[in-house]
Structure 1
């Protein structure tokens, strides 16, 4: 029996081109001209103009005052603020969260950035009699928790000073990072290795490890990790646990990025 070739996924070309325009304008640091859009789509200027003007009519594109090139319009802002992104992240990540909790038999958490804090938006509990309770809805400081530091992984000293000021950071335990300079060094290390740790920096007697969840463009949208008492989480387990958590974070990021289906 001959092997059937996979059926190509059908799509609407004009809609696809419109979405390419939106992605390109969103990623550009400068307004994009009509000529650049035409070159990008490999179509004539009149066709590019009709597509751009349709998006502009619906508020997805706009032209800066006195100019004819394009930036994102107010409809994009409105949609992004109407949609509950945290809820979407929970739906996409929950299965990975349960897998981590079951495989490592420790409480796993999912977090997003909320001002100067990390907000736990979902959790999966371990089977231990003594386990770390899932604190969904709890806010914890960014600078002294594994989840918080994972969310700060790309921040430089300038960004951190803007966020926390130049004064000392509040110490919660003897091991809490207390200066922006030390936090800057920590963030560089987290960025390089791909995960953050918490050596009883916020809660005495607890160890945590978390990895940033990144979209296809590298931006961080959340963090996933586990917490456990020091007695059950020796330092030598960091590398093993971090590997599994980082793999889960990458899988969530891929799902969130909605990669184009293969034919």
Structure 2
């Protein structure tokens, strides 16, 4: 057996045993009876490949996104898509606006399914956008646990003035995200494009796994019954949640 591969796998298994709790270099090395320098070199390679993530200087290590992609992530997305597609199609038929299902990956929100309305003027949004630049991304960020949110801010920092001008301090960000979390709703106005975005969470076994959004031109949003639109979005999310149980 190749020793360095064996040690790398030992490290991954130890981190994966409690994947959300950062483990220090010393704890990992001592648990596996490894030389600290050897352990640091292996971790450096695992971090570079995305299998392990370092939470700031001297704050420890957790599993990286690549490790999660090896644990059935594609199958998990398949379940999510199967639960969401029909309900999203019905929602778009009902409100005649574009809908989007998205997940959080690193500091980006990634669209995994879309439905399109039959409108002459439609809002288009990129498949991948920075978290702070969309209602869906902000909602997903708001629904993170306190520890995960702190790690996100340590790694990626605050939003730029261009992406979220109303939130330029940590206290303002926490205040905005706390409101979204309580209401389970994010509403974003993209002023320079005259676009509105609304997003609500999708749950699987009490864990937020995605966001469901509606995007539409601001002038149509202002003319609509906003409470009815949000209620339709929430009801669709509830049906998807029920399918994911």
**TMscore range, shorter length:** 0.5 to 0.7
Is the Cα contact below 8 Å between 1:111 and 1:147 reproduced in 2?
yes
Match of 1:153 in 2: 142
Q: Give the Å deviation of 1:211.
A: 0.5
- Structure 1: unaligned runs, 5 residues or longer: 1-25, 30-76, 258-263
Match of 2:179 among 170, 189, 193: 189
TM-score normalised over the length of structure 1: 0.60
RMSD between superposed Cα atoms in Å: 3.1
| Residue number among 100, 103, 113 corresponding to 1:109 in the alignment | 100
| 1:215 to 1:208, Cα distance in 2 relative to 1, 3 A | same
**1:220 and 2:208 are equivalent in the alignment:** yes
- Answer yes or no: is 1:230 the counterpart of 2:244: no
**For residues 29-44 of structure 1, what are the structure 2 equivalents within 5 Å?**
none
Q: Is the Cα contact below 8 Å between 1:155 and 1:184 reproduced in 2?
A: no
Mapping of residues 53-64 of structure 1, within 5 Å: none
Cα displacement (A) at 1:197: 0.9
Q: Are positions 1:199 and 2:189 aligned together?
A: yes
Shift of 1:249: 1.0
> Which structure has the larger Rg?
1
Cα distance, 1:95–1:170 mapped onto 2, change above 3 Å: same
1:45-124 equivalences under 5 Å are: 80-81=71-72, 83-124=74-115
- Cα distance, 1:213–1:122 mapped onto 2, change above 3 Å: same
Number of aligned residues: 181
Task: Tell me which moved more, 155-164 or 95-104.
Answer: 155-164
Find the residue that maps to 1:239 and give its secondary structure.
helix
1:160 and 1:184 in contact (8 A); partners too? no
Higher helix share: 2
Moved more, 147-156 or 189-198: 147-156
In the alignment, the residues of structure 2 paired with residue 100 and residue 221 of structure 1 have an alpha-carbon distance, to the nearest angstrom, of 19
Q: CA deviation at 1:133?
A: 3.3
Counterparts of 1:223 and 1:145 in 2: how far apart (Å)? Answer: 11
Runs of 5+ consecutive residues of structure 2 not aligned to the other structure? 1-16, 21-67
CA distance in 2 between partners of 1:183 and 1:92 (Å): 32
Q: Structure 1, residues 204-251: CA drift from partner, whole Å, max 9, x if none?
A: 3110101000123x2100011110111111187443222111111111
State the match for 2:236 in structure 1. 248
Work out which structure has the larger RCO, using CA pairs closer than 8 Å and 6 or more positions apart in sequence: 2
1:174 Cα deviation after fit: 6.8
Question: Under a length normalisation based on structure 2, what TM-score does the superposition of the two structures give?
Answer: 0.64
1:139 is aligned to 128
Following superposition, the deviation at residue 106 of structure 1 comes to: 0.7
